[in-house]
Chain A
Amino acid sequence: MRTGDYKQTYGELVALIDSPPVWLWSAVLLLALIAAPYLLNSYALSFLMIILITTTGALGLNILTGYTGLISLGHVGFLVTGAYAYAVLVSKYHMPPLVGFLGAGVVPALASLIVGAPSLRLKGLYLAITTLAFSFIINTVILEMRWLTNGARGIQVQRPEILGISFDSDAAFTYLCLVVAALTLFATLNIRRSRVGRAFVAIRDNDTAARVMGINLHAYKLYAFVTSAFITGIAGALYGIYLSFVSVEGFPFLLSIEALAILIVGGLGSALGAVLGTILIVLLPEATRVAFSLFSAQMDATFTTGAQELKSMLYGLVIILFLRFQPRGLVGAWHDIKRAWVHWPLRY
């Protein structure tokens, strides 16, 4: 009988996948995702696209908030910077989309250096407030730089064509999002098990102790900021392409809250949690709408008129309920279930 996980070497401890069934299920999931664009109708496909794009963004925030423990309330600022970098490079200056994606990563990363470098003196709440301020300032900067960004009029963005492959159809664009999300997931999992990732977690758990252990706090906090902004920027570019129109209104402050809600619901500091959280948070408004419309048509009408408000109310409610009753998120719940399953009928 398996009574626990006995890891004997360091390699086993940091292995990405530690048991054959997990390999099997991951492969099944990947195959399902590859088949999905052919099987789903366009309505369901749009949800899949949103989930993949949001996963990328949530994984980006997870590096900063989940691993390193630095709260950012202004991640939508990096999202919008990435989207604009892509839109300006590709739609305005007709660069190849790959250059656009690179720019969508690099520009927010540079912006994060500007915000991050002075913010490093700050901790917790204060950092949350500076990032919040950043996201408002960046919106004004974008609106004021009319010669580059068209101000409030926004920029039209076409679906890209990369290396001769056109990503114009929904199915093809879903594949692009899938590739980016999978690469991001793989990258964050690998960061987590590297020296840098361990330093991030050490800073989160106790920064004074981490410093005593010889971790250069400033450098590693900046790494976290830059990596996180890079990934978030690319998610922003994808989101801009999905919307096919980049404007300041397309990236409301609510997205920052949504990203934090995803991390809390999924379980802070876990890549799996970011993925699970994204699925729940993206599908929650739709699931609630369907559930309520079963009861009465009037409820359904309320949902269509006040969709945005109901969505934000749901996010708020989910944040509060999870923090209150399941602070470790879905991942924590999953671990509890697994343990109960293995040890049943014993408690532990």
Chain B
Amino acid sequence: MAEAALPGTASAAPPAPRRLPSLAEALLSVLAVIATMIFLFPIYWALSQSLRDPIETFTVAGFGIPWIDFEPTLDNWRDQLAIPETRRALANSTVIATGASLLALLLGTPAAYALARFRFRLIPNRDLTVWFLSQRVLPPVATVVPFYLVMRTLGLLDTQLALVLLNATFILPFVVVIVRQTFLDLPRELEEAALVDGASFWGAFWRVALPLAMPSVAASGLIVFSFAWNDFILAITIASREAITVPMHMAGAVDTRGVQFWFMSVRAMIAMIPPVIVALLAQRYIVRGLTLGAVKG
């Protein structure tokens, strides 16, 4: 057992010939499966609750397995998707998260390129990078009051545009830092060759470097899409009617008459599915992304 628990050896070993797993490996596998199930349970529970009749919310026994513990119904889903407010929230969130991601990529990718390739003298590149990074840890609550007042002055309260601008601000540093890492990993000789051939810097960036970096740039776009989608504090500060997003709509499942578990589960699922799916598409880049490029996954 002590032998098997030795860390750090198994993974990089050459593919072992097919054989039956040892007892220790079987035990560890079971442990891993159980751990995964614990982490998936809340999501499963939301699904289970969303399929129940309201009166069954607390009366269903055990793990609430559909068809075994109760007869599932899609009524709650139908009710929620039928109201125009749900559809509007979905549309808003899609527009805002997409718009903010694109804007952040537009501004962030060239900056990332600059940090990866050019040499800045007054402030060294790595200090600039850390400066971008420090924007990422800025607590949103420190800025929401002025954001609110600025958007009021600009007449942009309760607009998708305001939320696109603000979300882009909070995800921009993320894009800069992780895309920078991608460019660093690419050989600069290709661009240098292009430059020697008379290409402009923009041309070298746009036609040589960017296509090579595209998978990673797209992946960071997907990750920041999830961040923008999940934002709550900016939405609740800026939106009041037209621009209500899915997380804010989600908070609306709480009633003065108590939490309506059934609607809440549906709305929670609606809120969680898009960012989770989008993030899974970017799986390969997640470790690097979430550690802001500091750890390569």
A associates with B? no
